[in-house]
Amino acid sequence: MSKMFFYFFILGRNPRLSIIEILRYLTTKEIKSQIINLIGSALVIETETTLNIRNCADVLAGTIKIGRIWVMSQEQDIDNLLQTASFYLEDGNTLKYSVECYGNLNKLKHYQRLFKQIFKDMRQKAIKKNIPPHALSNALQTPLFIDVVIIEDESGNIYVGRTVGAHDISLNKKKYEKRPYIDKKIGTSIRLSRILVNFCGLKPEQSLLDPFCGIGTILQEALLLGFDAIGIDLEKMRISQCEKNLEWVKKTFTAKGNYELFKGNATNLSSFLDKNSIDGIVTEPELGPFLRDLPTIKEALKIKRKLQSLYERFFVAVDKILKDNGKIVIVLPQFETKTGEIIDIAIEEIIGNTRLRIYDMKREKLFFKETQADKINRQLQTALEIPLEYSEKWHRLHRLIYLLEKREL
C-alpha cells in the first residue's frame, strides 16, 4: 500500500467557493486525492503525492491557510501523542508559536496550556503569539515561528498539523490599489477574480477570454497564473485602461502570460476570434442598473427580460468560439423584490439552443470516502451544487456563479 499524505485547508469566508476552487485546482493538476473530513471551515484531504503547499497557498485565493497533518487520533489519545510528536520543533533560542482550533472551539485553552507545558518540559523557550490572517503569510517566512492547527469533529476524531503556507492578503491589496486604474463601481474583486479563474481549470499557456473585461481584473489574475489573456469591451476607454493595468501587472509581477485586447461586442465574438479557439471563459457581464432600493416585481422582470436578451445572444456567440469541453465561469444576477420574491435569470432556457450545459461538479475526482458519515457526504453534496451564491451587503442584487461546459458533438 502506497504512503498517503494528509493536509488541512482552512476555508475563507465563503466555504462553498473555497471548496470548489480547491477541487478544481487539484483536478486540473491531476493530483489523486480524497476528502477525509469537512469540519466547519476546515477541510481535511489525503493525497497520493506530496503537495507543494506554498504554491497551493499562493494560487488559492479562497483558502486562508494550508498545512500538513502530522497526528490523527481519537480524543482520548491525543494529549499523549502530542507529548511525543516532533513536527513543532525548531532550531533556535526562542520559538514563537500560535495554536488555532477548528470544530471544537471549547478546547482551545486546553491545547494552549498543553503546548505551553510541552515546551516547558522540553526546556524550549517559547512565546505564544497571535498572528492576524493578513500577517500570517509573512510570519510563516520566519524560521522560528510555527502555527499549530487542531481540528476536531463531533465524533472525537482529531487532526493536528502545522501551517506551511497562507494566502498573501496584503498582496491582493497591492494588486488592487497600486495599479494605474481602479473603478470600485465595476468589476469583481481581486480575490473573487482569482477564484473564478481557478474554477475554469486551465493549464499554463492555455487561453482565457473575458468578453466584458472592463479594467482587466480577471485578465490580470489570468496573466499571473500563466495563461494567455484575451479581453473584449465595448468602450474604447476601458480597453485603454485595461491595457495600462495589464502592462503594470506584467512589469510589477513578471507575469508570464501574454494578452490581446479588442474593442467590440461580446455578442459578436466570431468577428475577433476563430471558431473553437478559446480554452476557457471567465466573466462578469452587465448585471443591470444600479439599484438604490429593492425593485418591484414589475421592475425586476423588466430588467430580467433585457438582460436575458443580451445573455442569450452572448451564449450563442460563445458556442462558436469555445473549444469542446471548454469551461465558462460566469456571474449572473438574481433579484430580490420588495415583496420578497426572487427573480432568476432562466439560464437553462437561454443556453438551450447551444451545446453549453451547467457543469456537474460531482464528476470531479475528489469524493468523500465511503466510510464517512452521511452527514459529511450531505455537506459535500450541498457544497458542490451549481450555481453558487455570492452576495455583499451593499449590493441590492445577489450574484450567482455558474460553471458551464461545452459538450462534444
Q: Alpha carbon 88 to chain centroid distance?
A: 29
- Domains in the chain and their CATH numbers? 5-167 (3.30.2130.30), 171-360+383-406 (3.40.50.150)
Averaging pLDDT over each range in 7-11, 81-85, 127-131, 369-373, which range is the top one? 7-11
> Where is pLDDT greater, at 232 or 176?
232
pLDDT value at residue 183: 81
- Do 286 and 333 contact (CB within 8 A), yes or no? no
Tens of pLDDT, residues 43-78: 999 999 999 999 999 999 999 999 999 989 887 678
DSSP letter, residue 395: -
Residues whose CB is less than 8 angstroms from the CB of residue 217 and which lie 6 or more positions away in sequence, other chains included: 187, 188, 189, 190, 193, 245
Dihedral, CA atoms, 294, 295, 297, 299, nearest 10 degrees?
Answer: -170
What is the Cα–Cα distance from 2 to 141, expressed in whole angstroms? 31
Query: What is the band of 208 on the pLDDT scale with cuts at 50, 70, 90?
Result: very high
User: 374-383 vs 15-28: helix axis angle to the nearest 10?
Assistant: 90
Tens of pLDDT, residues 326-381: 999 999 999 999 999 999 999 999 999 999 999 988 776 555 565 555 666 677 77
- Do 369 and 380 contact (CB within 8 A), yes or no? no
What is the Cα–Cα distance from 95 to 115, expressed in whole angstroms? 12
Q: Taking CA 285 as the corner, what is the angle to CA 283 and CA 291, rounded to the nearest 5 degrees? A: 135
**96 pLDDT higher than 70:** yes
**391 pLDDT higher than 90:** no
**124 pLDDT higher than 90:** no
Q: Of 39-48, 76-85, 119-128, which gets the smallest average pLDDT?
A: 76-85
Q: Alpha carbon 370 to chain centroid distance?
A: 26
* Amino acid residing at 232: I
Tens of pLDDT, residues 197-207: 999 999 988 99
Residue with cell 469551461: 327
What is the Cα–Cα distance from 225 to 11, expressed in whole angstroms? 21
**143 pLDDT higher than 70:** yes
Peptide bond into 387 cis (omega under 30): yes
pLDDT value at residue 396: 66
Q: Alpha carbon 143 to chain centroid distance?
A: 28
pLDDT value at residue 155: 86
pLDDT value at residue 254: 81
> Cβ of 44: how many Cβ atoms within 10 Å?
22
Average pLDDT over residues 92-117: 88
pLDDT value at residue 187: 66
